[in-house]
Chain A
């Protein structure tokens, strides 16, 4: 019996912390962590609305989000390790080889 707006405010805070992290961090692993924060905010919203609407779809969808996030982290960290091996740096602002 938790009121919906309280949960939504918690999710909003997680999401805006994630946005700040993506914008302010240089380290690619830290950017990935901030993306995880944003995905978690979305999951909190999905589960809160599943409870609010008495519909299981939100919980099912949050399971899909969790598995896609796991795949994303796996690929993302592989790319980061490859980047470190080739450039000896994982600062996202130094990876500008493809920038025109």
Chain B
């Protein structure tokens, strides 16, 4: 076990607990705040894996922008509080399906990459320079497509959410 693995286990335990709290919290604002913790731990995981640029993008875009959007959405829709209004009647069925997917994925991972396997690869340094080099050398067209998609989503969101004249 290396120091990075101990750090990762700590971060992953915090992230897992708050991920479960996101989907079980009775207060919507608490769920959004738990989401901040989970997304930050995912960002720290990226940093520990060496993906420096993706880690900071995760923290900037997710924690900085997407969670703020969620909080605006919650405030504008006056969401009610309480288990009966937040969850539907298939809660237990959902828990069974979620648990089955978790057990299935873990057994699949164990079969493909055994937990007893001690070989670890060194982290791949994903600094801004390396990522930008790769992005603009091989993925220019997808990059432009994504920028067009973001523009379309921006215009679409404005058109959908604005009030009509005379409303």
Contact = CB atoms under 8 A, between A and B. Distances in A.
Interface of A: 1-10, 12-27, 29-30, 32-34, 36-37, 40, 43-44, 47-48, 50-52, 54-57, 59-60, 62-64, 66-75, 77-82, 84, 90-91, 93
Nearest to B98: A20
Q: Summarize A's interface: helix, strand, loop or mixed.
A: helix
Interface residues of B, number: 91
Contacts, number: 261
Interface in B110-163: 110, 113-115, 117-124, 126, 130-131, 134-135, 138-139, 142, 146, 149-150, 152-154, 156-158, 160-161
Given A70-B150, A74-B157, A90-B79, A19 B118 contact: no
Given A26-B86, A70-B65, A20 B8 contact: no
The B interface, classified by DSSP as helix, strand, loop or mixed, is helix
A66 to B, nearest CB: 6
A66 B60 CA distance: 11
Contacts of A32: 70, 73
17 contacts: A2-B5, A3-B117, A6-B9, A12-B106, A16-B105, A26-B88, A50-B49, A51-B50, A51-B51, A51-B124, A54-B121, A56-B131, A59-B51, A59-B54, A77-B161, A80-B77, A90-B77
* A-B complex: 10 closest residue pairs judged by Cβ atoms: A23-B94, A20-B98, A21-B23, A71-B153, A16-B102, A12-B105, A24-B94, A78-B160, A78-B157, A77-B73
